[in-house]
Structure 1
């Protein structure tokens, strides 16, 4: 016998103006772990298996709307304009949900650390209203959850709470779930008879109790439900995100001598048995296989590094870089959109952009893949076992054959056949005595001015 789970939808509130951020970038688009906070909220909704995800945006932020449309499509947009409180924001999604039947969870685009596992308990019961609470280290101005016998009696705002209620440490995160029909029936009864003239989502709990509907609270960690409203809080969320990432990777067997100096993105992959030295930064799309070593002060983004490969120190891997087993990328080497075969090396001061480097090829110091002609990008191919001498410019499109050699200081514009030696530089000329004569003349001029 199989059980069927009730359908789920998520309403993500992202219509706030975020004025405290003091930034031209809308608040919910600020990144944590290299990913917009709003995307973290959408990720959680998708991981919950929500068949409908509605994002409530404001008329003041076309960038937020465009971001949502690009990811989820036009039918994921609800507009709250003007903003009249959280209850009003949720009601803006009612028409967009249409004939959806099931449970709805309300989350926030500025709560980037909340994961599906934190939200899942709100769906344990299919009736009534469930909110997510947290035990606050410092309750301060948070709304308090008044709970008795496992039942949520009220959500009381701090400014309206008695001393007894203020002593409670169970606080409201703002996340709430209910059957879709019940949710919007209750919201239809919410009034704006308050000092701000706004419609509060929290009023739903009291209205549900008056109807005799179950009201309950489930709890998440305080850090998981933290909201971001200012730059200092954004930095705090980033620090918490990084802490979790570091602990997760070390638990999986990744060696990090100074973990607090290593920064990860939301999608970084690092295999156990690899080593990440101090002051390494991973941008989005980095995949590090087991047994690799990323040395200090390197930056890796959109790149894959196989086991046994070594990167850095002071190296940069850009999107499209693919390093096979045993590849060595040394100090001040930049690799972009280049596949490097097993055991290939570029140990010093090089730029490799748009190309392929064969197994065991050696790229000398100062080598440049000249990939851009001012209008188009072109590829450079270096064959297996080839040797490119120092201070060489390979002007793409160009190919260096397997086992070929390029003499130091060459500017190569024509393909080099397999096994050949290419020399593309002016012959060395000596002018006898010229340097002595020049120096004597300049010394005399300088002496005459003294």
Structure 2
């Protein structure tokens, strides 16, 4: 979900065991198992209060769900609407799905406490509940790329990966599972469930088939510290979930604000975007993406100094963050600090040699400094990487014209218009100013 300026848009993101659940909030912290010997117990999500089962089972369950939703900083109205939605999910026999799963898990947990079944048998029951809950969510909520906010999910009955992850966290923890959100890749969020026997299973609801992974034995298969884990198999990273970051509660809430900020950014509402990124940073101060995107929002407001400050922080937190170098270069370029812009574009290219927009930006800086040969070289590389890059042809033509290579300039101008008709007015103006005498249809 990084903002990358001078690009075609913003990728929306984004980014996700053992005791009984009796109350309702999500603190998503996982401890590292001791090497060798018996696996250490992994903590269940911690909760803010305790419910006494003095009311009906459904009332208690729905009260838990409401509390979890509001602790994710959604309004009470959204919590009520959410409960109204999920309470209507029924089994083929007309029973409330969540009540059935809650009862099944509670009975199995009690049987395990009484010594009637083993932790391995309890884990099998938990796996069945995971599968049933996942199928219910998939049956009721279809996939939609940009829908992450619960209010939108309730209204449209559609969600993206982050929306699915929130649904599974809220409902899974409320019925008695131990569920965490986890970042699988920078733009993909899923879930992981801790089972009673010390193993885990990953859940990815955007998959229509096989959305539950095989059991994961963290001591044997993953190495890491705190909430960051890396899959190892003979030191070869071979799985989709080869590196995971389990989101803590504040990080999960921060992701919600981060996504809201990005929606505002895409719509050009810089002030609203900044307000949401501010909250995301408050909740997750080590989130480099939030600083990067807030910097982009400041550029919407032409606040170059604050934008550069945010890009600096993003780079401090993530020294190989290509988008942050690229965006800081754009800020320098826009404020006519061309040498600084060239340095940052160059760093972005070193980190990602296939980044056509970084070559384009560096070419623009060279053009401003009247380094026409260098500008043409950068535009040529951008075109080699992206042959349909119309603006690269247009600006390379300007470089050729300044070197009196008018035939090459005319050819590039015509190619730019052929690729993008919206450039016609710009090409006509440049042709007149540079005496290229182009005739366009």
| Structure that is richer in strand per residue | 1
| Structure that is richer in helix per residue | 2
Query: Does the pair score TM above 0.5?
Result: no
TM bucket (normalised to shorter chain) is: under 0.3
Larger Rg: 1
TM-score, normalised to structure 1, is: 0.27
